[in-house]
Structure 1
Amino acid sequence: MKKIIFTLAFTFLAITTSFAQRFGYVDSDYILKHMPDYASAQKQLGALSDQWQKEVDGRFQEIDRLYKTYQADQVLMAPDMKKRREAEIVDKEKIAKDFQRQKFGPDGELEQKSSSIMKPIQDKVAKAVQAVAEAESLDIIFDKNSELIMMYANPRYDKSADVITRLGLKPGVFAK
């Protein structure tokens, strides 16, 4: 009888451990801070954003100047001249807002440029994460910085340094 219970208990333990999943997590911000490609991409996108923002600001400053001039001259203008100047200001404002949306909108040029620049970096990190997972026989790797909420994570499961090493970089240069 003891032999049967022992065998059943051992079988049950073997079955439950075979279904156990191994997991780890990474800190994507920490990994990206170690990547020179990422820093370069951020600088490139920042410069592009600054350039376009200056253009947008210049257009709105011109509109503001036109409006102030219009207000100062309004008393002396004929009604048809008022309408033309108002229409000119409204048209320029519409063009400036369209330009701003074209550059900075959800599907704007900055978003498209960001996607095209960041995709190779993201792919590189994803391949390194996959390689670490396969090398350590992990079933799941979470990203500590994603929408997934981690209330606690044991540091021994942090695979960020392994991913950095897999990318051919040196961990520990940047503090977490």
Structure 2
Amino acid sequence: MFGQKFGYVDTQYILNKMPEYKKAQQEIQKVALAWQDEIKEKQKEIEALYSALRTEEVLLTEAMKQERLAAIRQREQELKDQQTKIFGYEGLYFLKEKELMQTVQEKVFEAVEKVSVKQKIQVMFDKSGQLVMIYTNPVHDYTDYVLEELGLGDKDDTIK
């Protein structure tokens, strides 16, 4: 009876070698910075409203003061809602990242599958994921094979 053959790859290492991954990361960063700038601008507007209220406070009736304060708090809540919509769990940032990374990850997974079939691997682990691998024998590391499958192999590196 033959045992099952296991192997592992480091997908984070592989992704970092892929130009399309780096391009996707840059695009995500660019979009995130634009959203952050938009949020900072709205925060400045709210701070300016508070400052104006403090300056004019002595001239306002209590009712006028409360009305202005309520309007400012409404803007603060809208800003919090926008932050959650963009950067919250499954927000726009998460969706944009997923969209841009999906094709890159699919490419890696297809290459891993091809290498697994060629090398007759029954189970392939991802060393970079949440799986804790206390010891790994490099003989079971198929990262270089996947890089080669993606056309990103190092010419000077010899696969064992």
Match of 1:101 among 81, 84, 104: 84
Q: Identify unmatched segments of 5+ residues in structure 1.
A: 1-14
State the match for 1:144 in structure 2.
Answer: 127
* TM-score, length basis structure 2: 0.92
State the match for 2:57 in structure 1.
Answer: 74
Separation in 2, partners of 1:172, 1:151: 30
Matched, 1:154 2:137: yes
Percentage of matched positions with identical amino acids: 36
| Structure 1 residue 172, shift from structure 2 partner | 7.8
Question: Residues 135-162 of structure 1, C-alpha deviation per residue, up to 9 Å, x if partnerless?
Answer: 0001111101111110010111111111
The one-letter amino acid paired with 2:150 is L
| Structure 1 residue 75, shift from structure 2 partner | 2.4
Matched, 1:163 2:151: no
State the match for 2:43 in structure 1.
Answer: 60
Aligned partner of residue 152 in structure 2, secondary structure: coil
| Structure 1 residue 81, shift from structure 2 partner | 1.1
Aligned partner of residue 170 in structure 1, secondary structure: coil
Matched, 1:135 2:118: yes
The one-letter amino acid paired with 1:63 is I
Question: Residues 104-145 of structure 1, C-alpha deviation per residue, up to 9 Å, x if partnerless?
Answer: 111211111111111111111001001000000011111011
Q: Which consecutive segments of 4 or more residues in structure 1 shift more than 3 A?
A: none
| CA RMSD in angstroms, aligned pairs only | 1.5
Aligned partner of residue 124 in structure 2, secondary structure: strand
The one-letter amino acid paired with 1:87 is A
Aligned partner of residue 151 in structure 1, secondary structure: coil
Moved more, 133-142 or 96-105: 96-105
Separation in 2, partners of 1:107, 1:86: 32
Verify the 8 A CA contact 1:23 1:141 in the aligned structure 2: yes
Aligned residues: 156
Q: Which has the larger radius of gyration?
A: 1
State the match for 2:105 in structure 1.
Answer: 122
| Structure 1 residue 68, shift from structure 2 partner | 2.0
Separation in 2, partners of 1:27, 1:77: 64
State the match for 1:35 in structure 2.
Answer: 18
* TM-score, length basis structure 1: 0.84
Separation in 2, partners of 1:84, 1:171: 67
Separation in 2, partners of 1:124, 1:141: 16
